């Protein structure tokens, strides 16, 4: 089980958002750090097939990003997670299940199970527009897990969650990383510090650091040093 990116690039008019990124990601949690505009979200959207690369390729277990098999293995939580305000929490998950190709019985069982996992089981009949920001984020995480994905792309999954929920979700993501390839992007360095087996740091569309993380080291200091370097050069 491996996600392979080969010289993946994306250019928007004069701006190169992702610049010849080549990576191989094995099962486990990979943290993706970078300043705003570094290209993290663009890279994730390329991996999810939402954006077409200017050059390069993405494949998971030999399946190209455009194939149905690839999509069947994919779970994605976008940074700006959209929802249908008049759907109930359960309706939203049932709809997403249908989009992901789950059959009706399986969809209901899995939806209820995930609503319980993300702590929304007592409000699943309420309309999503009545949910708080944190509850919506939890619903977003639930939809990403509906198809039991082997490739999970999470863009800022813990933003909007309270500290207690964040810890709970870090544990959940760490568990998922045992059997799946999880790529986690966040601004919160401590999230990555706690759960990532491997850390990627992006700057100006390129991967400037790629390595396993020794949890005894201070990632935040290391991360800031990466960007301080640029300021020194500048």
* Interacting residues with another protein (CB under 8 A): 45, 48-52, 66, 68, 71-72, 74, 76, 78, 80-84, 86-87, 91, 94-104, 107, 143, 147
CB of 232 to another protein, least distance (A): 37
- Cα torsion 64, 169, 117, 83 to 10°: value is -60
CB of 10 to another protein, least distance (A): 11
Cβ nearer to another protein, comparing 7 with 52:
52
How far is it, in rounded angstroms, from Cα 219 to Cα 43? Answer: 22
CB of 107 to another protein, least distance (A): 7
Cβ nearer to another protein, comparing 102 with 207:
102
Neighbouring C-beta atoms of residue 103, cutoff 10 Å = 9
Cβ nearer to another protein, comparing 87 with 227:
87
CB of 203 to another protein, least distance (A): 24
Cβ nearer to another protein, comparing 61 with 210:
61
Neighbouring C-beta atoms of residue 145, cutoff 10 Å = 20
Cβ nearer to another protein, comparing 72 with 172:
72
CB of 71 to another protein, least distance (A): 5
């Amino acid at each position: 089980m491996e996600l392979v990116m080969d010289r993946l690039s994306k250019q928007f008019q004069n701006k190169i958002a992702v610049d010849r990124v080549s990576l191989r990601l094995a099962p486990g949690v990979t943290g993706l750090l970078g300043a705003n505009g570094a290209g993290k979200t663009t890279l994730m959207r390329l991996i999810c097939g939402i954006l077409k690369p200017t050059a390069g390729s993405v494949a998971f277990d030999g399946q190209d990003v455009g194939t149905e098999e690839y999509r069947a293995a994919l779970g994605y939580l976008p940074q700006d997670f959209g929802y249908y305000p008049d759907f109930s929490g359960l309706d939203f998950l049932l709809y997403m299940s249908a989009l992901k190709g789950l059959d009706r019985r399986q969809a209901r069982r899995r939806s209820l199970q995930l609503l319980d996992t993300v702590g929304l089981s007592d409000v699943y009949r309420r309309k999503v527009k009545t949910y708080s920001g944190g509850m919506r984020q939890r619903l977003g995480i639930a939809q990403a897990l509906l198809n039991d994905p082997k490739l999970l792309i999470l863009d800022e999954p813990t933003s909007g969650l309270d500290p207690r929920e964040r810890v709970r979700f870090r544990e959940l993501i760490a568990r998922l990383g045992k059997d799946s390839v999880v790529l986690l992007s966040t601004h919160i360095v401590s999230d990555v510090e706690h759960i990532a087996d491997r850390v990627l740091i992006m700057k100006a569309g390129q991967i400037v650091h790629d390595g396993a993380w020794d949890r005894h080291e201070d990632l935040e200091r290391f991360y800031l040093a990466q960007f301080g370097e640029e300021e020194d050069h500048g």
